[in-house]
């Protein structure tokens, strides 16, 4: 059993015991009431951290709860594990089965390994740079082989999230973007995408895995963090997808930096130009939204 699966077993036990009335899962207070954390988030992160340090004492560690506990994020060329113990904490609290352990690994600042495990659906996603992406170790991603053509945003299923910044400015901008993703195209609204629909799982890591599977075409989110995406980005790229920065500068077609807090992932297709075409159509709809972060010592770039 992989470390992600062992950590997942702790999460599944916590959900099962709460559902059967035998367990408690105290929601801990955070400054932001929509950015939830539980004792299980902390316990699972400690479990993973201890296991990693026992095996790789020289490696560096960035984790959601370690950061929340006041640790400074430092990003270096050293081997670094980037961990979200429970991505989808809100789902975990509600028993909504899109919950994942997310373990990413960077070497020389390059995202190199990604493992995402959903213990409630028993789905393990894994990828290593240059080695492909897999579901439950054997099923190569994407699930569609060959990938379906990517023609136009109007044919796409788009994943996005409310996120935890519920300020009026941010929510108005996100709702306006979703409105344009869904709205009927008319001569008066040529910018409207009239896409197939939108989906929201409540887990950035699982949204990326759904892009890697090819069951959603596009995922756009502003406001999540490196631990939400470090593993999923490797899985998307190894499935043949791309992850760009989720802003509206159409000229920027570089792979997103894991620290950028704005992500636009497009699933595998037969050619990169069709992926970039969809990215460009999305960027016609993406509003300018600020997602600030303190500078990271060591810098973001490889
Ligand atoms: C959150 C989830 C959610 C996303 C938030 C993340 P967490 O992670 O990935 O889908 O919208 O931006 O913070 O807090 O459950 O680990």
Q: What is the CATH number of the domain that holds 107?
A: 3.30.540.10
Q: Which residues contact 110 (CB under 8 A, 6 or more apart)?
A: 129, 302
Domain count, the chain: 2
Residues in the chain: 302
Domain shared by 162 and 228, yes or no: yes
Nearest to 217 by CA among 275, 136, 257: 275
Q: End of a domain among 113, 140, 167? A: 140
Site to probe by mutation for ligand 1, drawn from 91, 159, 204, 216 as the one with most ligand atoms within 8 Å of Cβ, is 204
C-alpha to C-alpha distance for 166 and 131, rounded to whole angstroms = 39
Which pLDDT value is given to residue 294? 84
Cα(267)–Cα(279) distance, rounded to whole angstroms? 10
- CA 187 to ligand 1 centroid distance, Å: 37
Instruction: Look at residue 253 in the predicted model and tell me its pLDDT.
Output: 94
Q: What is the pTM of this model?
A: 0.96
- Residue whose CA lies nearest to ligand 1 atom number 6: 224
Domain of 244? 153-285
284 is catalytic: no
Q: How far apart are the C-alpha atoms of 201 and 134, rounded to whole Å?
A: 20
pLDDT given for residue 219 in this prediction:
98
Q: Return the pLDDT at 101.
A: 98
Residues 181, 132 share a domain: no
**CATH code (residue 234):** 3.40.190.80
Residues 223 and 163 sit within 8 Å (Cβ to Cβ): yes
236 in a structural domain: yes
Judgement on whether residues 90 and 213 belong to the same structural domain of the protein? no
Q: Is 113 annotated as a binding residue?
A: no
Which residue among 42, 164, 265 is best mutated to probe the pocket of ligand 1, counting the most ligand atoms within 8 A of its Cβ? 164
Say which of 84, 180, 226, 237 is annotated catalytic: 84
End-to-end CA distance of the chain: 32
pLDDT given at position 8: 97
Q: Which residues of the chain have pLDDT under 70?
A: 25-27, 29, 31, 301-302
Q: What is the whole-number distance in angstroms between the Cα of residue 54 and the centre of ligand 1?
A: 28
CB 61 within 8 A of CB 49: yes
In the chain, what percentage of residues exceed pLDDT 90? 85
Same domain, 20 and 123: yes
64 part of the active site: yes
Strands 110-118 and 123-128: antiparallel
Catalytic residue from among 48, 62, 82, 86:
86
Rounded-to-integer distance, Cα 150 and Cα 211, Å: 13
Whether 52 and 132 share a structural domain: yes
Q: Identify whether 208 is part of a domain.
A: yes
- Determine which one of 38, 80, 89, 201 is catalytic: 89
Secondary structure of residue 92 in the 3-state scheme: helix
């Amino acid at each position: 059993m992989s470390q992600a699966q062992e950590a997942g077993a702790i999460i599944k036990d916590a959900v099962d015991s709460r559902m059967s009335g035998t367990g408690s899962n105290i929601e801990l207070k955070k400054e932001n009431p929509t950015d939830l954390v539980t004792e299980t988030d902390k316990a699972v992160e400690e479990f993973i951290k201890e296991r990693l340090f026992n095996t790789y004492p020289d490696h560096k560690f960035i984790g959601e709860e370690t950061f929340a506990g006041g640790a400074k994020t430092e990003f270096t060329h050293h081997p670094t594990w980037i961990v979200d113990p429970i991505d989808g904490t809100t789902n975990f609290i509600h028993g909504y089965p899109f919950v994942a352990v997310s373990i990413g690994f960077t070497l020389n600042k390059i995202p190199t390994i990604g493992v995402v495990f959903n213990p409630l659906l028993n789905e393990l996603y894994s990828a290593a740079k240059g080695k492909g992406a897999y579901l439950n170790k054997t099923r190569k991603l994407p699930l569609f082989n060959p990938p379906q053509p990517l023609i136009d945003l109007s044919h796409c299923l788009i994943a996005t999230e409310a996120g935890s910044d519920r300020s009026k400015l941010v929510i108005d901008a996100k709702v306006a973007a979703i409105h344009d993703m869904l709205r009927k195209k008319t001569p008066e609204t040529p910018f409207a995408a009239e896409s197939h629909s939108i989906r929201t799982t409540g887990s950035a890591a699982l949204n990326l895995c759904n892009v890697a599977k090819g069951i959603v075409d596009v995922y756009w989110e502003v406001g999540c963090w490196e631990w939400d995406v470090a593993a999923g980005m490797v899985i998307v790229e190894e499935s043949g997808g791309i992850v760009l920065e989720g802003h509206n500068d159409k000229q920027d077609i570089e792979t997103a930096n894991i620290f950028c807090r704005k992500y636009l992932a497009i699933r595998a297709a037969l050619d990169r130009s069709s992926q970039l075409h969809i990215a460009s159509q999305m960027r016609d709809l993406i509003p300018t939204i600020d997602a600030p972060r303190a500078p990271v010592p060591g810098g973001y770039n490889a």
